[in-house]
Structures are given as structure tokens and as C-alpha cells.
């Protein structure tokens, strides 16, 4: 496993990071807590020391499971990345989306990052995680109702108090990062990125490279689509939002599977799965620091971690990109 510094924070984390969105169940059609815990522990056993979670993933469920794992792991050897700024327990801020709670009722989720809310969320995160500090505390989504400076002043206070080691943002533009930097030194920006979703290469990624900010990418497997396991006609479980995702149209699933079939010989040559090949490709892209990869059970976690063992030559990377140029998705 390779370990990379998150910006200039002094925090080194496993390049393959356990993405704990799916284990919260929300938007993934549910999850099994026992299997989720086993997945985290299995990943750690293969060198995956970093875990990325958030309060909104299952309304605290994901963080609680991560907290259970921390009870069995050496805290100083685990990097806990969590977030703030999405509230489902109040009616303030900018409405972002709706989610199902454990009872199956729909609740609105608001982007809300006022100073007092940031402080409260940090305390709640610490309780659910069962720890006294967070390695990287990230604003989950921009909150248009709150000045960026106010949000970052609260984060700076938490850093000064030792409750967080480093500050990060997620889904931030270059302009928003620049404003945040007037208050606090950001370590990272977490953004969506995959073989079929590369828009951050236009501006945010170059900015982060130039300013030595880590880029943490989520959904590198495009929520499972790049594993090759999702075929046309696939049926998703109730509550799984992938069925309505633009990448999951019947035509796009067909075209992506055709592309993946062209990569199959390379994967076979590496004795790797398509998912492992995609993860390895992601980590070789300029400026990409960490790749968040989710797992619902131990076997998935083990297979994800083994992607770190795959070496891709410059020629192989070029071949993959050449084939990507011929992939035309329909939106």
C-alpha cells in the first residue's frame, strides 16, 4: 500500500481509502452493519488505514460503524476523515435533497454551515466516532446561505482546540477555495472523479496541483458502474438511487460495458478484476491523492485493497486513455 500526504497537513493516509458512504445504507438500498464492520477491519489488515465517512451517511450510522471499528484498531494508525454541513434535523439553510430515514420516511437535507452548527456537528461526530479528534474535517457541500469566511472561522477554532488535525472541503470550486484560504489553510478538496467523469481536470485539479492541495476523489468506480458487474436491465434495490442516475441509463450502461470489455485483456494480464484496474488507473492520474472506494463486506474490501499492487506502465495508461477517447456517453 502506498501512503500519501494530504496536502501539506503532515497527515499521511493510504492512497486507497475506505469510502464509508455505502455502509450507511442511505442511497444504496440499505446495508448490513456486521458485514460493514468486517469490511473496515479487513481493509485495515491489508494496509487501508484511512476511512472517509460523514454524518449524513445513514443519519449517523456510518460514523457509528466506523466508531465500532476504531475500538478494535490503534487510533494513532488510522486516519479518520469525516464531514459537516448537511443537516437533516433542522429546517434552515439551502435545501439540497431528500433522504429516507430508518423508518422509511422522507426527510429534507439542508446545506447549513453557520459557525454554531459547525461546532455542534464536530462534537456529534466525535461522539459517534468515539474519538477525541478528527484527522480531516471536511465541509460536505458549499452552503450558499452562509459566508465561507464564517464557516472557516469555526473550523479554524476547532483546529486550534485540537479537535481536528486538518481542514478540507468537498465539492468546492476554485473560487470558493480561494475565499476559504483567506481564513484557514486547506489541506484538501474532495470531488467526484472517474474514468467517465473527469470535469475537475479543467480547473480544480490544476489549481490543487499548483497550490499543493490534496485531491480526494469519490466514486472512482462511478458507484459500481465501472466494475463491469452492472449489465443492461439491472434491477436496483428499493431506495438505491443509482437507477435514476444519468450514467445508469440503458444506453450508457451498454456503452460502458463495451468499453470495459476492451480493457478485459489488460486486466487479465495483470491478474486483476476490472474494478482493481480502474482503481489503479485512478491513482496514477496527475494530482489525484486518495481514491475513496466503498465496500459492503470483507471480500469487497479485500479486493479493493489489492488494487494497490497493480502497476501500470505509461504505455498501458496511454492505451486506456486512447480507448476512453472513443467512449461517447449520452446525457
Ranges 61-75, 83-97, 295-309, 312-326: which has the least confidence: 83-97
Let me know if residue 254 belongs to a domain.
Answer: no
Let me know if residue 212 belongs to a domain.
Answer: yes
- At residue 98 the predicted structure's pLDDT band, cuts being 50, 70 and 90, is confident
Give yes or no for a contact between 216 and 81, defined as CB atoms under 8 angstroms apart: yes
Given a cut of 80, whether residue 317 has pLDDT beyond it is yes
Catalytic residue, from 57, 172, 218, 248: name it: 57
Give yes or no for a contact between 151 and 119, defined as CB atoms under 8 angstroms apart: no
Give the DSSP letter of residue 284.
Answer: T
Let me know if residue 114 belongs to a domain.
Answer: yes
Residue 128: alpha-carbon gap to chain centroid: 19
pTM of the model: 0.92
Query: Residue 274: what pLDDT?
Result: 95
Query: Residue 226: what pLDDT?
Result: 93
Let me know if residue 263 belongs to a domain.
Answer: no
- Residue 57 is among the residues annotated as catalytic for this protein: yes
Let me know if residue 234 belongs to a domain.
Answer: no
Let me know if residue 243 belongs to a domain.
Answer: no
Per DSSP, what are the bridge partners of residue 216? Answer: 190, 290
Let me know if residue 267 belongs to a domain.
Answer: no
| Tens-place pLDDT, residues 156-201 | 999 999 999 999 999 999 999 999 999 999 999 999 999 999 999 9
Q: Provide the strand spans (E) within 208-330.
A: 214-218, 288-294
- At residue 243 the predicted structure's pLDDT band, cuts being 50, 70 and 90, is low
The cell numbers describing 70, all together, are: 476504531
Reduced to 3 states (helix: H, G, I; strand: E, B; else coil), residue 216 is: strand
- Rounded to whole angstroms, the Cα distance separating 9 from 21 reads 24
CATH assignment of the domain containing 107: 3.20.20.100
Query: Residue 96: what pLDDT?
Result: 79
Given a cut of 70, whether residue 100 has pLDDT beyond it is no
Let me know if residue 204 belongs to a domain.
Answer: yes
How many domains, the chain?
A: 1
Given a cut of 90, whether residue 244 has pLDDT beyond it is no
Range of the domain at 31: 3-223+277-310
Give yes or no for a contact between 283 and 15, defined as CB atoms under 8 angstroms apart: yes
Amino acid at each position: 500500500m502506498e501512503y500519501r500526504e494530504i496536502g501539506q497537513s503532515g497527515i499521511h493516509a493510504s492512497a486507497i481509502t475506505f469510502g464509508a458512504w455505502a455502509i450507511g445504507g442511505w442511497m444504496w438500498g440499505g446495508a448490513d452493519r456486521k458485514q460493514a464492520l468486517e469490511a473496515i477491519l479487513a481493509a485495515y489488515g491489508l494496509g487501508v488505514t484511512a476511512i472517509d465517512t460523514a454524518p449524513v451517511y445513514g443519519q449517523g450510522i456510518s460514523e457509528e460503524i466506523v466508531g465500532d471499528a476504531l475500538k478494535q484498531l490503534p487510533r494513532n494508525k488510522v486516519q479518520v476523515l469525516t464531514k459537516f454541513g448537511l443537516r437533516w434535523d433542522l429546517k434552515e439553510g439551502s435545501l439540497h435533497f431528500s433522504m429516507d430515514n430508518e423508518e422509511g420516511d422522507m426527510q429534507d437535507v439542508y446545506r447549513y454551515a453557520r459557525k454554531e452548527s459547525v461546532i455542534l456537528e464536530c462534537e456529534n461526530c466525535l461522539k459517534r466516532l468515539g474519538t477525541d479528534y478528527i484527522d480531516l474535517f471536511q465541509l460536505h457541500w458549499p452552503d450558499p446561505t452562509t459566508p465561507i469566511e464564517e464557516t472557516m472561522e469555526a473550523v479554524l477554532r476547532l483546529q486550534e482546540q485540537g479537535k481536528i488535525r486538518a481542514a478540507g472541503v468537498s465539492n468546492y470550486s476554485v473560487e470558493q477555495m480561494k475565499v476559504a484560504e483567506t481564513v484557514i489553510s486547506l489541506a484538501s478538496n474532495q470531488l467526484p472523479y472517474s474514468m467517465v467523469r473527469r470535469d475537475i481536470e479543467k480547473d480544480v485539479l490544476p489549481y490543487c496541483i499548483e497550490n499543493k492541495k490534496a485531491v480526494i476523489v469519490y466514486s472512482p468506480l462511478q458507484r459500481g458502474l465501472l466494475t463491469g458487474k452492472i449489465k443492461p436491465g439491472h434491477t436496483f434495490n428499493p431506495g438505491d438511487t443509482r437507477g435514476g442516475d444519468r450514467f445508469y441509463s440503458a444506453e450508457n450502461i451498454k456503452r460502458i460495458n463495451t468499453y470495459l470489455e476492451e480493457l478485459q485483456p489488460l486486466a487479465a494480464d495483470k491478474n486483476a478484476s476490472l474494478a482493481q484496474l480502474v482503481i489503479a488507473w485512478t491513482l496514477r492520474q496527475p494530482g489525484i491523492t486518495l481514491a475513496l472506494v466503498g465496500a459492503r463486506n470483507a471480500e469487497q474490501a479485500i479486493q479493493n485493497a489489492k488494487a494497490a499492487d497493480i502497476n501500470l506502465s505509461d504505455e498501458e495508461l496511454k492505451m486506456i486513455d486512447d480507448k476512453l477517447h472513443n467512449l461517447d456517453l449520452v446525457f
